[in-house]
Amino acid sequence: MGTLRGMLTIISNATMRNNKGTQLILACCCIHSSTWHHSIFKKNLQVKTDTSEIPEIGTPVESWYFDVSRSGRIKIESKMDVHVEPINSLKFPEMNKLFINIMYMGQKKLSSYDIKELSKQYVVDVDLEDLNAGMHLKIEQNTKAVLETLCHIKLPLQYDVEVACFDQACVSVEQTEGAKVSVRTHAGGCTLKNVKTMTTDVLTQGGNISIKKLLQGSVDLTASMDGTISADRLQGPVVHCQTNKGSISAKAIYAEKVALTARSCNISIDSCHGHSLVDIKQGHLTIGTVAGSLHANIGSGNTHIGMAEPTQAQISTNSGDIEIKLWQNESGSVRLQADQVDVGDVTLLHRSSEKRGDQELLTGELGKNTAQGEPVIIAKTGKGKIKLGYYNWLTSLSFSKGR
């Protein structure tokens, strides 16, 4: 079976079946840490285990469980896919258990012999801190072949999670509430679902980053090479997303400070709340609803922005068209410069237009009660046109989808 290293005392080996009748090779063990610190464990672990803690997906290969503290941290290094989620709080109200399951995820049905042979292809190394408040889990392979396996971990809710996966291995973390989540991958992707932390830091070297439902806390997401970032909802003090050639998309962002950076791709946000800074070298920008301030710099590409409330916006592009949608009750001054400026049915008071070289510079006031110091909309394109227009809730829905 896969070796579990670090000073390891095997109490017993047993073959069991999970609730689906699938054969499970189980190792029940007592761990004595060799690399970090002394570890306190029960002297006699029972051979029986709660098989409901074995995932429903895949075929179980090996399983271990540990007594741990209610809050702590885990550091994982792996060449196989890793999935992390909390243990069931109703079954384990003391939140002091940690389960490690190695699962076979291939389509081919394996015999007991096949499972045993598969377990020889990797090594699981576990080291524990004092009082079992921290764990270092390292999974190495004895083969260069890609194993169709998954390391599935269930741990206490308030655990810090740090994962580094190599080669094509992917990471998924869901519903944890520790202070920190940190993920590093090479070509593999990262999926976070309903994660609440103080800080989240994700870096992929080519894999995609996917945020399902909610990611809450200070957020730093970077997808290098062709990796993309897609999110349902990002919420926290600071949200930073950066890509190289992959797109950035989100349904909603709520933050005090938002920074979106892309080298050669599109950015599309349905709703963005906060003080936002956007920088795109080459690509299109679409924000369906902006609430707060916006400063956008576009090297080459079109921009579509919808203003949800009196907002300070500065939009600049070297080459590309700019379209801005406004509510009819908005107030503030505007300053627009382009090859062609079209204000449509937008009413501008104190309107003034003048030539700046081959371009038109148009200024004016929105609303009758514009006062000094109110939000200002400044838009400039070196080559292209600017268009203003009103929108309502129905048109904003289609606008937020990138028209």
pLDDT in tens, 360-375: 999 998 876 555 556 6
Instruction: Name the residue type at position 5.
Output: R
**pLDDT at res. 328:** 80
Residues (pLDDT < 50) of the chain are 1-3, 5-51, 402-403
Q: Which pLDDT belongs to residue 31?
A: 38
Q: What is the pLDDT of residues 130-156, one digit of tens each?
A: 888 899 999 999 988 889 999 999 999
Domain boundaries, the chain: 1-169, 178-256, 266-403
pLDDT computed for residue 347 by the predictor = 87
